Structure 1
C-alpha cells in the first residue's frame, strides 16, 4: 500500500524534529526520533557508526561546544521501495558559533513503530565540493 498523505506529513515532521531535539539538548526525547536499534552512520566523517539513541547522546555530549548551534533540515524527499522500505533524503545545514556553516545530506530509512514513524538508519554525508554525483 502506498504511503498516505498522513504518513508523508508525519515523516516530514519526524525529520524536522531532529534539529529541535539536538539543538535543545533534549536527548531524553530521542526515542521520539529514532528506533531503539537505530544505526547512525558517521563513517563519512571518520567516526564509524553509532548504535542506539544512548550512543548518539554520548557522542553529542562528548562533542560539546563543537556541536553546531543550529541543525536545519531542508529538501525532504520521501520514497518507498518496491519491498516497502521507506527512504528519506534531505539536506542539512549546520551553523557553528564562530559563523562557519556546513552542509550534509541525510540518507534515512524510516520505519513505522507502534508509537509512529522513527528513523531506523541515518547516514550523514558531508558536502565538501559542488556537484557531487
Structure 2
C-alpha cells in the first residue's frame, strides 16, 4: 500500500481530532477517532492500559476536571510510516496545557487502520517526557 496525499491529510486530521473531541467533552464522538477495540496504553503516565472504546471513554470521563488534567491537547510533528496490511504507524508530539498554564510534552505512537468508516486509531501508546532527552540520569528523573 502506498499512502496517497489524501491518505496523509486524512490521517493528520484524524490525529488532530483527538484534542478537539477530548477538550470539548465530545466523548460520544470518539468512534470517529478510534476503533471499537482500541488499545490505549498510558503506563508511562501511571494509568496502565485500557482496552476498548467504552473503557477509554470511562477513563477520559474519570480524568476530566481532575487536578493535573490538561485543558488543551495539541498535536504536532506528525510522521507517518506505511506498515502494510492497511496499517500505518504514526508518531507525533503532543503538548498538553493545564488550567494553571503549565505545559507538558508527550510522544504518541499510533497504529492506524483503514476500515469501513475510514482511518481510525487501533492502538495508541503515550510517552510523557519528564526530562530532556539529553539530560543525565538522576534519581528524580527516573531515567
Superposition TM-score, scaled by structure 2 size: 0.87
Q: Where does structure 1 lack aligned partners over 5 or more consecutive residues?
A: none
Residue in structure 2 matched with residue 77 of structure 1 by the alignment: 79
Shift of 1:81: 2.6
Residue in structure 2 matched with residue 33 of structure 1 by the alignment: 33
Q: How far apart are the structure 2 equivalents of 1:64 and 1:72? A: 16
Q: Does residue 1:88 correspond to 2:119, yes or no?
A: no
Q: Which has more radius of gyration?
A: 2
Residue in structure 2 matched with residue 110 of structure 1 by the alignment: 112
Q: Does residue 1:11 correspond to 2:26, yes or no?
A: no
Alignment: residue pair count? 132
Q: Which secondary structure state, in structure 1, belongs to the residue aligned with residue 121 of structure 2?
A: strand
Q: How far apart are the structure 1 equivalents of 2:89 and 2:39? A: 14
Superposition TM-score, scaled by structure 1 size: 0.93
Shift of 1:122: 0.1
**Moved beyond 4 Å, runs of 4+:** none
Shift of 1:48: 1.1
Q: Where does structure 2 lack aligned partners over 5 or more consecutive residues?
A: 135-143
Shift of 1:85: 3.2
CA RMSD of aligned residues (A): 1.3
Higher helix share: 1
